[in-house]
Amino acid sequence: MLPAGIGGALIGPYLLAALSPNALGVALAIFVLLRVAYNFASDQIKQLAYQPRRWHALAMGALGGVASGMFNNSGPPFNSYLLLQKMPPRIFIATTTLFFALLNLIKVPGFLYTGILNVLVSVWWVFLFIPLTIWVARWIITHINQQTFEGIIMGLLIVSRFLLFLQSR
């Protein structure tokens, strides 16, 4: 996922400057809602059970990178893909942290080009909450079972995509 994510993250800020964000927001919302629907229906639809393919990681990495570069919102495609891999919570969180740390570092030149970094600097106070959120996240992933963890991630995906869809209209 990382090479495709890096490519997408490099392209995303330039697309942001050229394209309407509403169209991609709606497409991303629809994708995630379909993914969530698949997750709920997959036990009943055995013939459509997920079979991993190499191109799935590349596609989700690229989609995640572009969404990250355009909206700083690549969690849904990335999390959807990782949920299909049935990773334990600690590996899920570690993989997510490394992926997004690298993507965010790579996006800095594009953010400088589009002026987005100026907006991020204006909300510097948010960074004061990082130690607290790290502590809370660490506590949660060491005290949660796999099924509850996946349910929380799916719930967050549903809510975030619904809100994105409403904002895009």
Q: Cα–Cα distances in Å, from 104 out to 10, 63, 65, 163?
A: 10, 15, 10, 23
Could you tell me if 82 and 95 are in contact, meaning their C-beta atoms sit under 8 angstroms apart?
Answer: yes
Range of the domain at 119: 2-168
Predicted confidence at residue 125, as pLDDT, reads 83
- Tell me the angle at which helices 54-71 and 75-84 cross, rounded to the nearest 10 degrees: 160
- pLDDT tens digits, one per residue of 139-149: 888 898 888 98
User: How many domains is the chain built from?
Assistant: 1
Q: Is the pTM of this model over 0.75?
A: no
